[in-house]
A = this chain, B = another copy of it.
Amino acid sequence: MEKELIRNKQGLTEDEFLQEYDASIYERPSVTVDMLIFTVMNEKKENYRKLSEKSLKLLLIKRGDHPYMGQWALPGGFVSVKESIDEAALRELKTETNIDSIYMEQLYTWGEVNRDPRTRIISCSYMALVDSAALDIKAGDDAAEAFWFDLKYKVVQEKKSILENGFISEKLVLLNLSNEIETLNATVKVEETVEGRTRRIERDVVDSKGIAFDHPKMIEYAIERLKNKIEYTDIAFNLMPELFTLSELQQVYEVILDRELLAAAFRRKVADMVIETNQFTKDAGHRPSKLYRFNPGWRNAF
């Protein structure tokens, strides 16, 4: 190998250099992963004819120790030096949901100096989408108390101030997380500053009732990403069971996008992404609906 021959200023070869390398001389941050685990669940029917409404859910854990003891946080944990961050994220996912084959995507790495009162902690956030049908019992039967929260996202204020050569656009987002046992609220300010050719986006937790750390920021960010990606990718199918109706699929799009869609246009849009089966729903109280499955090869026609 040629690399044996190269010597640095201290006259060391690469092997010698690595042997002498002392990683401990610099102070280092801790690294954690935080998981945004989303699912969509059916609420109970109002009457026998109506379809059941769907709602977007997020998994949170009640903190059993300081800091933020008693508050709710995203599931997560430290990344050990012997595992990749993806592995750490998968491990957390498995611990909390007992599912290991699932859609997971890295979102953003949060690196503010004082985001954790214990020590310097950098956290890498991941989004996971799970099919609630595949979940069954889990979430709640862990030592850590994990619960699904109904998640509402609402822009409550938008403000735009014009600068000499740009503007500041400020948005207040209200996050509401609730279930049978608790209701949590947080307000996140998202501020976009455009000055000349520089753009900066900054998120701040204005107010948080019961949500630990900077997790409201992570939640806000994840929802924006989810809303965005559902429009131009097929991630929504990760929230669906094996077989589903187009109406159910549309409901999932609607609950995430938080607006109603027209059935005709929606069906055209998803036509290539699904494969028709010859099965139908039953006992619906109205016309039965054809069941479909995801078509993994929809993107590049084959």
Binding site for B on A (CB under 8 A): 6, 8-9, 12-14, 17-18, 21, 23, 26-31, 64-67, 69-70, 78-86, 88, 101-103, 106, 108-109, 111-113, 117-120, 122, 124, 131, 160, 162, 165-167, 169, 194-199, 237-238, 240, 294, 296-297, 300, 302
Contacts and interface: CB of A to CB of B under 8 A. Distances in A.
Summarize A's interface: helix, strand, loop or mixed.
Answer: loop
A76 to B, nearest CB: 14
Contact of A196 (B101, B113, B122): B101
- Report the 6 A-B pairs with minimum CB-CB distance, sorted nearest first: A85-B111, A23-B119, A17-B66, A81-B120, A109-B109, A14-B66
Given A120-B81, A122-B31, A160 B302 contact: yes
Given A14-B67, A27-B81, 10 more contacts: A8-B65, A12-B66, A17-B65, A23-B118, A23-B119, A26-B30, A29-B31, A103-B199, A167-B296, A198-B238
A85 B124 CA distance: 12
Contacts of A162: 297, 302
Contacts of A111: 31, 79, 84-86, 88, 124
A21 B197 contact: no
A249 B8 CA distance: 44
Nearest to A115: B84
A238 B79 contact: no
B17 A67 contact: yes
Nearest to A22: B119
A124 B111 CA distance: 10
Nearest to A8: B65
A273 to B, nearest CB: 12
Contacts of A28: 28-31, 81
Nearest to A130: B197
A296 B161 CA distance: 12
A85 B238 CA distance: 32
Contacts of A237: 197
Given A69-B14, A197-B131, A26 B78 contact: yes
Nearest to A65: B8
Nearest to A300: B160
A140 B28 CA distance: 30
A132 to B, nearest CB: 13
